[in-house]
Chains A and B, each alone.
Chain A
Amino acid sequence: MTVKPAGYQALTLSEERTGDFETKLMRINVGPQHPSTHGVLRLVVDLDGERIARISPVIGYLHTGFEKTMEHRTYQQVVTYSNRMDYVHSFGHDLAYVLSAEQLMGARVPERAQRIRVILTELNRISSHLVFFGTGILDMGALTLFFYTMREREQLLDIFESVTGVRMNFGYFRVGGLYQDVPESFEHDVRAFIASFPKMLDQYSALFAKNDIFVNRTTGVGVIPIERALEDGLTGPSLRASGVSLDFRKAQPYSGYEDYDFDVPVSTAGDANARFAVRFQEMRESLKIVEQALDRLEPGPVRDPDRRISLPPRNELETSMEAVIFHFKLVTEGFHPPRGSAYVPTESARGELGYYLVSDGGSMPYRVKVRVPSLMNLQSLESACVGGLFADMVVNIATMDPVMGDVDK
């Protein structure tokens, strides 16, 4: 299974190396089963000694046919699929999908539902970054931090479980609101997490951010200048590490992000260390958002009362024939958005994420196109790796933070 990049030809080597002996590039295959490629990423790397001359990602090993399957499901059923695409930041995908579908439907989401969505998405962003730190540093050979970050992630998963019933792959958001209200213990649990987590962040910081080995391993590695980043279509924390302050929570606020006071951490270094640092700062900012949203969380409904979108309340089913009919139609057929298309960009833990939905007036989306951040970000791997050491490739993959489900769809 050799895959030759088109236009493949041996590099012209510099003068002093073309003496009497013949040298040529060495081609190494990495993956798809490899512990450091974060899933089933395959890379075909051409090496000039220890330096990378060419790198070409081969993807599709986790191609699941999401878009095709979503086109055969009703709008409400799609929520079950969207979160399985990026299984590390599931709420982000759910949110992106329901926002697009709500734009098509013209749904009005109650304020409480929006606040809960923001809290959960931001907590999920933290848990996603925790996986990033644990596995990222694991790739560099340090096992310890993995156990620390996973410990805090368990605490978050407990909160998610109390709210949604599952630890991952939630499917909790609905078009028009939420599946149900959060349990009573929710506020207490989240406040406990907010109280304890900054101390943990200091611990991580002491463990690696000032560690000489870590600093030497990441500083100046995989530098992506701004121009290259924009040329490659990089978004998200990796782009912000290259000096572009693009965060769709600020640029095109959705779900009431404009109400919250938070900063967008930006670094200009563009190297692996900056990508670590930006995500590290982001966890603190997410915590700020969670705290503000929790303070403003007022009791109220969590679903759009519009009968075209939301199921009627359970008690009405016993008295009202009309409610039964609406219930039956919604459960079997689903709702019918008007013709048109919608795209709402959101900021996932990895970058710009949006669902481009085309409706033909039927109860299933005519076309679902997911703008996944990881796929575009993966193109920057070339800018980051070429010319660098082979060993640094692992650091670069880790700091790009691709989730293969997000790449392959």
Chain B
Amino acid sequence: MTTETAAAPLGPLTERVVESLVGLGGRLEREPFEVRVVLPARAIVDAVRTAREAGFDLLSDVFGIDWLRYPGHQGPRFSVGYNLYSIGHGERLFLRVDVDDDEPVPSITGVWKAATFVEREVYDMFGLRFSGHPDLRKIHTPEDLEGHPLRKDFPLGETPTLFNDGRFLDPAAFRAGMIGASGGLTGWVGGARKGVVAEQVDPAPATPCAGATSADEGER
């Protein structure tokens, strides 16, 4: 396992490609384990085409990140990452586009058919629209599910664990206690643990989302 904290080395192919990507308005970011180019949304199709023509011949992945709860994050709320690999050179390059909620991302399906499913996945999980995608439908979640599960404000949707005498254990509050984000381990303090329900979290939230969201927020 490599433990160096210096930035990841740039391979010859990556160096060439990064140069032309910077020409497209990209910004090189070198982290300990990944080489990443952050691009403006409008340039991503050209960037992927450039990289592919230069020799990155495998599109590994397209993924989204929601920065809503990331401490100290500034800038647009979402990122879309592109994971490219060059089989001949054995080099990996990450591209990234930062976008806000209602900002469409140009789809790269025209350049690379492999992006069809993964872009649909990002749309389903984060609600980011890809303009020019031939078939932008939900892929994983049921048709009648509202919302986009991997957004940070979408609750995990846990069912509380029920015990006798109407006691229950709210998983989110329990977890918050475990990692030290809130005081009690179970969300139950003092007498309430023995079955006396008092000034606790609403045992039956009107909608499962409402109760869980507040606890989720406490956790982060």
Residues of A within 8 A of B (CB): 3, 5-7, 59-60, 63, 65, 67-69, 72, 74, 99, 102-103, 106-109, 230-233, 235, 244, 246, 251-252, 332-334, 340-343, 345, 352, 354, 356, 358, 360-364, 366-367, 369, 371, 375-376, 378-379, 408-409
Closest to A343 in B: B34
B210 at the interface (CB under 8 A from A): no
Residues of A contacting B92 with CB < 8 Å?
A: 343, 345
Cβ B140 vs Cβ A60 within 8 A: yes
> Can you name 13 A-B residue pairings with CB atoms under 8 Å?
A60-B140, A60-B142, A65-B156, A72-B175, A106-B1, A233-B58, A235-B60, A244-B87, A246-B87, A354-B61, A361-B71, A371-B60, A371-B61
Are B140 and A63 in contact (CB-based, < 8 A)? yes
Given A6-B135, A379-B117: 6 more A-B contacts, CB < 8 Å = A103-B2, A233-B112, A360-B69, A360-B71, A367-B65, A379-B114
Contact A246 B34 (CB under 8 A): no
Known: A231-B113, A361-B71, A367-B65. A60 touches B139 (CB 8 A): yes
The reply to whether A5 and B135 contact each other, CB–CB distance below 8 Å, is yes
Interface string of B91-124 (1 = CB under 8 A from A): 0101000000000000000001111111001000
Contact digits for B123-157, partner A, Cβ 8 Å, 1 yes 0 no: 00100000000111111111000000110001010
- Residues of chain A within 8 A (CB-CB) of B58 are 230, 233, 235, 246, 352
- The residue on A at minimum CB distance from B94 is A343
**A108 and B1 within 8 A (CB):** yes
| A361: chain B residues within 8 A (beta carbon) | 71
In the complex, are the beta carbons of B2 and A68 less than 8 A apart? Answer: no
Total count of chain B residues near the partner, CB < 8 A: 56
Contact A356 B180 (CB under 8 A): no
Q: Closest residue to A73 on the B side, CB-wise? A: B175
State whether the Cβ of B162 lies closer than 8 Å to any Cβ in chain A. Answer: no
CA distance A375 to B125 in the complex (A): 15
Total A-B contacts with CB atoms under 8 angstroms apart: 133
Name the B residues within 8 Å of A356 (CB-CB).
Answer: 61, 63, 81, 83
Contact A341 B33 (CB under 8 A): yes
A109→B1 contact, CB < 8 A: yes
Which parts of B57-73 form the interface with A (CB within 8 Å)?
A: 57-61, 63, 65-66, 69-71
Measured in the bound complex, the distance between the Cα atoms of B220 and A378 in whole Å is: 36
B121 and chain A: residue at smallest CB distance: A375
Chain B residues, CB < 8 A from A99: 1
B178 within 8 A of A: yes
With A and B bound together, what is the CA distance between A408 and B140 in angstroms?
6
CA distance A73 to B23 in the complex (A): 41
- B71–A340 contact, CB under 8 A? no
Q: Are B140 and A360 in contact (CB under 8 A)?
A: no
Query: Complex: how many Å from CA A120 to CA B175?
Result: 32
B3 engages A334 (CB within 8 Å): no
Contact status A59-B140, CB under 8 Å: yes
- Bound-state CA distance A89–B58 (Å) is 23
Q: Once the chains bind, are B156 and A341 in contact (CB under 8 Å)?
A: no
Q: Note all chain A residues with C-beta closer than 8 A to B125.
A: 67
Indicate if the CB atoms of B83 and A69 lie closer than 8 Å: no
Contact between A65 and B87, CB atoms less than 8 A apart: no
B141 to chain A, nearest CB (A): 6
A372 to B190 Cα, complex, angstroms: 46
Determine if A232 and B65 form an interchain contact, defined as CB atoms under 8 angstroms apart: no
Q: Is the CB of B138 within 8 A of A60?
A: yes
Residues of A within 8 A of B33 (CB): 103, 340-343
Give chain B interface residues in 18-66, CB to chain A under 8 Å.
31-34, 57-61, 63, 65-66
